[in-house]
Structures are given as C-alpha cells and as structure tokens.
Amino acid sequence: MPTIQTEETTGQTEETTGGKKLPSHAKVVVIGGGVVGCSILFHLAKFGWKDAVLLERDELTSGSSWHAAGGIHTISSDPNISRLQSYTINLYKEIEELSGQSVGLHQTGGFYAASTKEWYDYLKGERSKARYMGLDQEFISPKELAERHPLIDPDHYHAVLWDAQDGHLDPSGTTYAFAKAAKAHGAQYFTHCGATGMTQRPDGSWDIVTPKGTLNAEHVVNCGGLWAREVGHMAGIQLPVQPMEHHYLITERMDEVVNFGQQLPHGIDFEANVYCRQEGQGMLLGTYEAQATPWKVGGTPWDFGHELLPPDLDRVADRLETAFERLPAMANAGIKDVINGPFTFGPDGNPLIGPVPGMKNYWVAVGVMAGFCQGGGVGLTLAEWMIDGEPSIDVWAMDVARFGEFATPDWGTIKSSENYERRFVMTFPNETLPKGRKQKTTALYDRMIAKGAVMDQGFGLEHVLWFADGPEDAHEVPSFERNRSHDYVAREIKAVREAVGGIEVANFAKHEFKGEGVREYLNHILAGFVPKPGRLALTPMLTPKGKLYGDLTVACLAEDHFMLFGSGAMQEAHRRWFEKDLPPGISYANVSDDWHGIALSGPKSRELLARITRDDVSAEAFKFRDLRQTFVGGVPVIINRISFSGELGYEIYCKPQYLMRLADAIEEAGADLGYRWYGARALLSMRLEKGWGVWTMEYRPDFDAVESGMDVFINWKKEFVGKEATLKAREGGVSQKLVTMTIDVEGIDVAHDEAILKDGEPVGYVSSGGYAHHVGKSMAMGYVAAEFAAPGTKLQVEILGNFYDALVLAGPAYDANGANMRS
Ligand SMILES: Cc1cc2nc3c(=O)[nH]c(=O)nc-3n(C[C@H](O)[C@H](O)[C@H](O)COP(=O)(O)OP(=O)(O)OC[C@H]3O[C@@H](n4cnc5c(N)ncnc54)[C@H](O)[C@@H]3O)c2cc1C
C-alpha cells in the first residue's frame, strides 16, 4: 500500500522548510509539490536561481505522486524524451546523496516482452534508437528472461528487450528527496500554503495569493498535477489535460518471489497490456484498460486529499486474465491491495511544458503522466529554458505550444482518454489516430472525402495524406512495411511530375507583420535575406545559441507589410517567439486560419493558372520566387511562385470563404491537362528526391544552420540573432552533418529514428525517409558524424533489425540543378 509521508515523518518542519514567513517576493514561484514541481525547484536552485519558492496546498506528494507504482524506464516514442528519462534515472543517486533522503531505488533492470511478430518488430526499432543514443539495451531470449524472472512463462514470447537502467523506486521518498535537495541548493518550499488566485502586474510579474500572504514573483510555473486545469484557470488559461483513473494491484507474500533470492526485474508485456515489478515480498501488477475512465471531467475538487478511488476490478478483469497466463504463479497469489488512483494525461500522452504562448512569464509543466521516469528531465529542461532562454535539446515533443486554441478542454478529454487506452498499444508508422478528428476542417473536406481521401490531422486541422479509389477504398492497413498507399501515391506523383497536381495548403502556418521598421526587425530575427516588395526568400531563423528555430518563406507584400510562411505545427511556438521581443510600432498576428489555399505543381501548372487568371503569368513576367496579390478563378488571392515538390509551381492562398470557388476553377480548367489532387505522402516523397528537409524532422533546434546545410541561405553581411554561434560553427567545423542517402532495400523503407552505421558502429540516425517514387529508390535523410558525410560514403541503415547498404548522395536525386522548378 502506498504510504503518505508528511513533514513530521520526514523530519521536516515549517522552520526547516525555509522559515515560517512566506517571503513577499521571489524570482520564481512553483505551484505544486508533486514530483514535477519539486524537480523543477531543485533544478532552478541548482542552476543558480536560488530565489525560488514552491507552494504546496497540502503535504508534498498530495496529488498523484504519493500513489504511483514507482516504475522507471527509458523507452519512449520520442528519442529526446528517452534521453531525458535516462537522465532522470541517473539523477536519483545525486538527489539521494544531497538530500539524505532515500529514494528507494531498485535498479533491477527491466524487460519488454514481445509475444507477436509486430511487437518484436517494434522492439527492433527501439533497439535501433538505443544503439545510436548510446542507451544500454540488448535482446535476450525468452529462456534467459525466465532465468532472470522465474514467474514468467517464456513460451508466450518471441523475443525480449532488456534495459539495465530500468527498475522502481519509492515515489514519496523521491519527491521529498527532490524538495530537500532543492533546499540544500537554497530554494524554499511551503506546505499547507496553496495558491488561491493570481493577478498579473503591468510589469509582467505575478501576485500569487495564499493563506499565508501574497507573494510577488517574476515568473510562475504551474505544476498543479491533478489540479493543473484549476491552477490554469487562475491565470485565465484552459489546459487540455485530463486526470484518468488507473489500477494496479499488490499481492500478498509469494514464495516464488521470496525464494528467488534477488530482486525481480521491472517488466512490460505490451500485448497483455500489463506492467509488473516486485513489491516487498510480493508483486505489483498494473494495466491500462481498453476503455479509459476520465476522472472529474468538470474539474478536480479542491478538497480531494490523500485519497484513492473505489477499485473496480471488473474493468481490468480481462487484462488480469491474460497477465495470469503469462505469470502463472500470480493467479494463485492472494491480493493484498487494489489501488485505483488518478493521474493526469495530455492529448498525445506527452507532458505539456514551457512558456505558454500569448502569456508573459507564465510557465507550465503539466500532463506529466510518468513523473518518476520523466520528472528529472522535465525539471532540467524547464530550468534551462527559464534561465538560459532555451533548452539544451529539442523538446518539441513536450512543448506546450504544440497545442493551440483547437485543443479545447473537451478535445483534451477525448484525446487524453485515447492516449490512456493506447499506452501499451502500438501505433504503426502509417497509422493515424481516430479520436478527436474533424476538430478543424477546410471547405474542401467533404469534396476530398468523396474523392477517396485518407486524412490525418495536424495542429487540429484535417489534411489529405493520399487518395484511394473512392471512399469505400479509403483505408489503411497498419504496417511497418510499404503499405497499401504505395501505388496510389505513385499515381499522384506521376501526375505532378508529368502534368499538374494540386494540394491544399491550409495547414501551412502564415504569420503577418505590419508597420514601420518591420524590415529591420525581420533582418534581425531572420538569418537570411529579407526580400524586396513582390519577392520571396527562404530563410532559417536561429536561436541566440545558433540552433534552428524555423525555416520560413518570407513574402514582402509591401515595404511595411510581410507574411512569413512556415511549419503549421510550429505556429504557436513561432507566435511565442515573435511576440517575445516585438518592437513597438510593429504589429504581428498568427493568421494561419485566415488563409487557406491550393498549391499547383507540375510542368502544366502555368498553363492551368493562365486559364483562370487575367494576369500575365509567363515565365518572363512571373518569375521563380515572385509573389502577386491578384485574382485567380475570380477570387482574391496571394500567389507565391515556389513549390515544395521541386516542379514549376504556385502556392495560391485565399481567404477560407473563397476556397471552394478556387477549387472549382482549378478542377474545371485542369480537366484536360491531367489535373489530379495529391496528398502529403506524395509531397513528402517528392521533396525527398529533391533532398529537402522538413521542420520537426531534419530541421529542429537540435541542429544548427551549418549542420543542417541551411547556412546556404544566410546573409552574412548583416547582424542577426545567432550569428556569432553560427560563425563559430562555420569556422570551427561541426561534428555532424545532414546527408541524403539512397538505401539498397526492397519492400520496406525507413520511417525515422533508425540507426545509421559505418562498419557496424553507429555514426548517426535517420531523421526521415521513405520511397522516392519518381527516381524509384528507397531514400533517407539523416545526421551522421561529419567524417562520414562526404558524397559517395558507403554506410548502413538498420531497418527492423536488418542492416542495408546506403550511399551518401552528392546532390538531389531529381532535377539536381533545379531547372524544372525555375522553368
Ligand atoms: C496508480 C498510479 C500508478 C502510477 N505509476 C507510475 C509509475 O510506475 N511510474 C511513473 O513514472 N509514474 C507513475 N504514475 C504517474 C505519476 O504518479 C505522475 O506522473 C506524477 O505523480 C505527476 O506528478 P505531478 O507533480 O505532475 O502531479 P501531482 O503529483 O498531482 O502533484 C501536484 C501537486 O500540486 C499541488 N497543488 C495543486 N494545486 C495547488 C495550488 N493551487 N497551490 C499549491 N499546490 C497545489 C497538489 O496538492 C499536488 O501535491 C502513476 C500514477 C498513478 C495514479
């Protein structure tokens, strides 16, 4: 049974927690004394912000932290989260020593057991990631597993991945260890001192009201856990997180456990959907139900204390039956306790951390559903972000800005429930998740569905992946191998490369800047050229440390009026970036939803466009990288003469209310030219054969402009954010480089995050890839150690446990000098 520690049981008193009197001012106030808040307090103080105060409404651990199962492991769908989980586990010795508080760490090693071919394939992918990340994972046979864990029946399994770092700990002890270690570094925490309200002063600082007085702080961090939503309401924000009920059970003493003579390892059986570990002389076994039970959808009551919820074993009975087949001794064990406790999930299962877009000095670290695996990494990241201005690694997978206005509380509950249910359910690379769909659509949604579109959503907005032969044919078969969209995508690419195709571009982000001095401002924040009126330019945007923070198309509509086009997913992160130091006199707006549109691509796209506009769009009159504000198909538009497909092309943007009319005009005029709609899969394949990277895959803050090759777009003659760091990288050389490769493989392609090897040694990883239909090759892009980036270098890429030859290319596999695009 989980126990609650209090200040009394841990020898803490109000005096020892930093003095009786709440200070009237602090640099930072952290709200919430669960494992996440305490870790943030520790990291802030350790890195030098000692004037940090944590407020806890009850005792520390009073949310979900006290009743966690305490399992710790490194596997995560996102490699950087895995890295931070590994960091978290390695941190426990440090906080134990510093605080003198035991964290009850049992680093028993852990296993992930695969009972189907698909799960074995999945684990091979994880093994590949671990290889290049330097994590200590290896495959062992089911027989070896039974030797390490005698309760397991090995006959159920194909293969087992073993991770020596995994194990379990004491959740309460760990939370207190973070708090006491924070105190040792000079921070303070106050229990029975909840934040009951907050207001922001004109200078951006916060007045936080508590029963012990009001505290003014420059920054506030919401670590409210089960009450994250309510703490958010105090500052007027709605967070799309949702507490979920969750069961685990603890057995009585088991002879099989006691007689083994050493600690049993932690373990996860994905197919049975259970996790287990030793607890005292018995076992602890938990499961994620197929049907989630969201808890307190309307809001978490303030009087919810150290409480558990009534268990309902019927909900988990089917899962337990499978578990008992795999761990037969458990079927005969007596059940000592059944724990049902709530903990908070985010819409995609990952935490929501960072500065909230649209707010000043307001930070969150919420929806952390595996606080004992991730708390340390979340604390590290947030402290770096607050103190240094940017985290040391790309934490996009946890950034609160990956959700926007579309992520309403209702949507959050639906998606968080889906994620709970899928905690141990595999998502294949070609699979899209079904819940919370059609949250945002364009005027062409029904038309695309009628044509057989298979859709996905990004930033809440539906977009086409590929077109089947009509609605009844529009379905995926989840697979690690080349999937059923393959031939359909080939058909779309053929139309674009030989005639003309159209794709919706509503999902590109659009940022509008107006005002005097806007050119000067853009020249400062963008590393590339800022174009003249009527022209476009591609530019990287860098952080002060020289990391990539955007690859943007800049459109100059007038000397004091610019539009920036970029990653749809990054739109709120970019908004946060632009609004941070916006000079007075310049107005900025994220206008992504105000501009929908269609991109035409292909050798016949000019002919099509000429039929539906009165403008002269001849090659001489409308050049590559020109832009026009004009009329197409009878509606007002902005046309950018660029294309991500690598063909002659035009991105035509219109207000959403004109989109249907524009689409009618294009379809009608293109009928005899071989016009075909195409989707994101075709576009991604075509950009691959051009060797162009994509934001979140190739381009992300893990890399700088030199490593990624984006330095070719830099205007060195001016001063810009990140210049000094980029110059240093250019002059001093970089240790890794982005390369494009062909892979000698049949029937299967990379997805992302596979290891790249040279003579059997990992030298990099795949950032993205797939089948390049027009050139007829399997291709990948990835970062490799600089000495292996030269064209012609022979490497290997690991795909599902097999190693395939790969060749580094000298340039684009298609239209190397860009003649088609410029034609
Ligand atoms: C049954 C169960 C099993 C689990 N097993 C594991 C596991 O094996 N491994 C793992 O890594 N994770 C596990 N978890 C998840 C883990 O418990 C959570 O990820 C973690 O506790 C989240 O910590 P937190 O600090 O974000 O939130 P919480 O623990 O909920 O802490 C939030 C704190 O904020 C305080 N607070 C709220 N509002 C205010 C206010 N206005 N003013 C001041 N203080 C406030 C609360 O009192 C509370 O103490 C499990 C959870 C459950 C329920």
Q: How many CA atoms lie within 13 A of 705 on its CB side?
A: 33
Q: Which residues of 406-420 are buried (b: 16+ CB within 10 A; e: fewer)?
A: ebebebbbbbbbbbb
* Half-sphere exposure at residue 587, Cβ-oriented, CA atoms within 13 angstroms: 6
Between the CA of 94 and the centroid of ligand 1 the distance, in Å, is 22
Answer whether 417's CB lies under 8 Å from 294's CB: yes
Residue with CA closest to ligand 1 atom 49: 62
Give the Å distances, CA to CA, from 512 to 215, 578, 609, 653.
38, 10, 26, 14
Residues 683, 645 contacting (CB under 8 angstroms)? yes
Ligand 1: nearest atom to the Cα of 226:
30
Give the atom of ligand 1 at the shortest distance from the alpha carbon of 302: 38
Cβ atoms within 10 Å, residue 487: 9
When pLDDT is averaged across residues 23-31 and rounded to a whole number, the result is: 98
Q: Is the CB of 194 under 6 A from ligand 1?
A: yes
Backbone angles phi, psi at 171, to 5 degrees: -60, -40
The set of residues, in sequence order, having a beta carbon less than 8 Å from that of 543 and lying 6+ positions away, is 389, 390, 549, 701, 721, 722
- Measured CA to CA in angstroms, residue 437 lies from 22, 414, 457, 569 at distances of 47, 10, 7, 16
DSSP-based three-state secondary structure for 536: strand
- In this structure, the number of other CB atoms found within 10 A of the CB of residue 342 comes to 24
Nearest residue by C-alpha to atom 34 in ligand 1: 32
Residue 479: exposure state from Cβ atoms within 10 A (0-12, 13-18, ≥19): middle
pLDDT band of residue 1 (cuts 50, 70, 90) is very low
- Beta strands at 761-772 and 755-758: parallel, antiparallel or unpaired: antiparallel
Between the alpha carbon of residue 708 and those of residues 560, 694, 770, 786, 797, the distances in Å are 31, 11, 19, 11, 19
Ligand 1 touching residue 231 (CB < 6 A): yes
3-class state of residue 39 by DSSP = helix
Rounded-to-integer distance, Cα 640 and Cα 432, Å: 31
Q: Whose CA is nearest to atom 52 of ligand 1?
A: 68
Query: For the chain, what is the radius of gyration of the CA atoms?
Result: 28
pLDDT bracket for residue 9 (50, 70, 90): very low
For ligand 1, say whether the CB of 729 is within 6 Å of any of its atoms: no
- How buried is 144 (Cβ within 10 angstroms: 0-12 exposed, 13-18 middle, 19+ buried)? middle
For the chain, give the percent of residues with pLDDT over 90: 96
- Residue 10 clears pLDDT 50, i.e. is over it: no
Question: Ligand 1 centre and the CA of 72: distance in Å?
Answer: 15
H-helix or E-strand spanning residue 167: strand 167-168
Closest by CA position to 659, among listed 458, 767, 465, 503: 503
Residue type present at position 233: H
- Residue 457 to residues 402, 403, 435, 437, Cα–Cα distance (Å): 13, 12, 10, 7
Q: Which atom of ligand 1 is nearest to the CA of 339?
A: 1
d(CA 259, CA 261): 5
Contact 225, 366 (CB under 8 A): yes
The tokens for 423 are 């905690």
Res. 692 pLDDT band, cuts 50 70 90: very high
CA of 34 to the centre of ligand 1 (A): 5
User: Of 30, 75, 227, which is best to mutate to test ligand 1, by the most ligand atoms within 8 angstroms of its C-beta?
Assistant: 227
Mutate which of 17, 372, 374 for ligand 1 pocket (most atoms within 8 A of beta carbon): 372
Q: Which residues contact 248 (CB under 8 A, 6 or more apart)?
A: 69, 284, 285, 286, 287, 338, 339
Best residue among 1, 38, 42, 65 to mutate for probing ligand 1's pocket (most ligand atoms within 8 Å of CB) is: 65
Beta-sheet strand order (sheet of 587-590): 536-542, 548-558, 561-566, 509-514, 587-590
| Other Cβ atoms within 10 Å of 247 Cβ, number | 22
For the entire predicted model, the pTM comes to 0.96
| pLDDT given for residue 305 in this prediction | 85
* Separation CA 625–CA 78 (nearest Å): 36
CA–CA distance, 147 with 156 (Å, rounded to integer): 15
Separation of CA 248 and ligand 1 centre (Å): 16
Please give the distance, rounded to the nearest whole angstrom, from the Cα atom of residue 273 to the centre of ligand 1.
Answer: 22
The answer, yes or no, to whether any atom of ligand 1 lies below 6 A from the CB of 677, is no
Pocket test for ligand 1, best of 248, 300, 343 (most atoms within 8 A of CB): 343
Closest CA to ligand 1's atom 14: 68
* Cα angle 760, 766, 772; round to 5: 115
In ligand 1, the atom with minimum distance to the C-alpha of 63 is 30
Residue 197 pLDDT more than 90? yes
Binned at pLDDT 50, 70 and 90, residue 5 comes out as low
Task: Say if CB 84 and CB 380 are below 8 A apart.
Answer: yes
- Closest by alpha carbon to 69, among 226, 266, 253? 266
User: What single letter denotes the amino acid at residue 299?
Assistant: G
Q: Using DSSP, state whether 459 is helix, strand or coil.
A: coil
Cβ of 272 closer than 6 Å to ligand 1, yes or no, is no
pLDDT of 17 > 70? The answer is no
- Please tell me the residue having the least CA distance from ligand 1 atom 2: 68
Whether the CB of 70 sits within 6 Å of ligand 1: yes
pLDDT bin (cut points 50, 70, 90) of residue 133 is: very high
Say if CB 765 and CB 756 are below 8 A apart: yes
CB 548 near ligand 1, within 6 Å: no
Phi, psi of 131, rounded to the nearest 5 degrees: -60, -50
| pLDDT at res. 20 | 63
Number of Cβ within 10 Å of residue 460's Cβ equals: 22
Query: 49-80, pLDDT tens digit by residue?
Result: 999 999 999 999 999 999 999 999 999 989 99
The atom of ligand 1 lying closest to the CA of 37 is 25
pLDDT of residue 306: 86
Ligand 1 contact via 220 beta carbon (within 6 Å): no
Render pLDDT for 98-110 as a digit per residue (tens, 0 to 9): 999 999 999 999 9
E-only strand ranges, 303-399: 335-345, 352-355, 362-366
Contact in structure between 553 and 510 (CB atoms under 8 Å): no
Q: What is the CA(108)–ligand 1 centre distance, in A? A: 24
| Distance separating alpha carbons of residues 350 and 498, to the nearest angstrom | 42
Ligand 1 midpoint to CA 65 (Å): 4
Q: What is the pLDDT of residues 309-327, one digit of tens each?
A: 999 999 999 999 999 999 9
Q: Find how far residue 62's CA is from the centre of its chain.
A: 28
Adjacent-strand bridge partners of 372 = none
Q: What is the pLDDT of residues 253-263, one digit of tens each?
A: 999 999 999 99
| Residue 755, phi then psi, degrees to nearest 5 | -75, 145
**CA distance linking residue 308 with residue 338, whole number of Å:** 10
**pLDDT, position 8:** 43
Q: How far is CA 76 from the centre of its chain?
A: 11
For residue 174, the CA-to-ligand 1 centroid distance in Å is 12
CB 509 within 8 A of CB 567: yes
Distance of CA 372 from the midpoint of ligand 1 (Å) = 9
How does pLDDT run across 505-538, given as a tens digit for each residue? Answer: 999 999 999 999 999 999 999 999 999 999 999 9
DSSP state of 347: T
- Distance of CA 226 from the midpoint of ligand 1 (Å): 6
Query: What's the gap in Å between 40 CA and the centre of ligand 1?
Result: 14
Are the CB atoms for 443 and 660 separated by under 8 Å?
yes
pLDDT at 13 > cutoff 50: no
Q: Could you tell me if the CB of 595 is within 6 A of ligand 1?
A: no
Ligand 1 midpoint to CA 373 (Å):
12
Distances (CA, A) of 489 to 3, 506, 677, 752, 779: 56, 20, 11, 19, 16
Coil/strand/helix, residue 453: strand
367 alpha carbon – ligand 1 mean position (Å): 9
What is the structure's pLDDT at 722? 98
